[in-house]
Amino acid sequence: METNQEGKAEQFFKDFGKKLDIFIVEAKDAGTRIEADLKKKYEELKVSAEKIRKDADNKERWKEVEVSLKKAGEELEKAIKAAFKKKQSDQGK
């Protein structure tokens, strides 16, 4: 009976060891994939940062953006005034 128990324990630890080995290999693979993904994202961020830096240095481009935003703001202001003006004239009726 004691031999049977030892055999079961040995088999359990043998199976456990195999599963642990597989887990370690999979964990290493996952770590490698994560590292590769992080490197890729880092490179993408560097490219984006460089593009933003170049855009920020391009004063003419920002001048265009500023002019366009001012025009949009003026149009929005006109629309808001028209909407409230109409409401006020409707309330007087």
pLDDT at position 7: 83
| 6-40 exposure pattern, b = at least 16 Cβ within 10 A, e = fewer | eeeeeeeeeeeeeeeeeeeeeeeeeeeeeeeeeee
pLDDT in 10s for each residue of the chain, 93 residues: 556 777 888 999 999 999 999 999 999 999 889 999 999 999 999 999 888 888 777 778 788 888 999 999 999 999 988 888 765 555 555
pLDDT at position 61: 77
User: What is the DSSP annotation of 67-84?
Assistant: HHHHHHHHHHHHHHHHHH
